[in-house]
Structure 1
Amino acid sequence: MAGVTTAPGLSAREAADRLARDGPHEPPAERPRGLLRLTWSVLREPMILLLAAFAMLVLLIGVPLVRDALVLAALTLLEWARARSGSRAWRSSGGAGAGEPEQARWRPLR
């Protein structure tokens, strides 16, 4: 393949120096969100705003489908919270970058 190099990577010493200098490679920690912040962030989503607008329209017209819209909004909030929780658990377990190759063996960076 043209233009592809096969550099050997960092030596163990250079990896240790970089780890001591820069620390482990981790994404910045996110502040946990409470229920009100989570609800507010969900309500700012364009699709939720569109659903809310249609729910208001249905309410004004008088069709009794508002209950369904509220159930869908509650389910969206629940799924959002579950996804955030799973994302935090995955990130705390090491995520995709849990280890880097070091001279033909894997060593965790943490």
Structure 2
Amino acid sequence: MNMPEDVSATPGYSALMARLQPLIDGGRLDNIVDLLSLVSDLIDLLDAATVEKLANVFEEVTASGWAAANTLRMTRAEIMTQGKPPSLYALLKLLNEEDTRKGVAVVLKTLNVIGRQL
């Protein structure tokens, strides 16, 4: 790129320096340069396989969040239609249902795995 010998005399350079001077004085320009370096390093590190893995993780987290929110909405709607809270006997009776036992087993197994990792 051909640059004039005295770049500092151009109006564009003067305008740019006037804009950058507060960032330079406050040391914030260093932060911007560091951020650009970090982004550049990440681009160098991310190959197609890593991007695909990250996309899959994002998709799984999104799907899990959607499923959990949907389950909570359905459960809340069912409870609200009953009008009054279920009795203790009704709750114990709910434990006898196969789906409830599966759900409790998932929760307990999840806690078991978390406990092993601690």
TM-score normalized with structure 2 length: 0.28
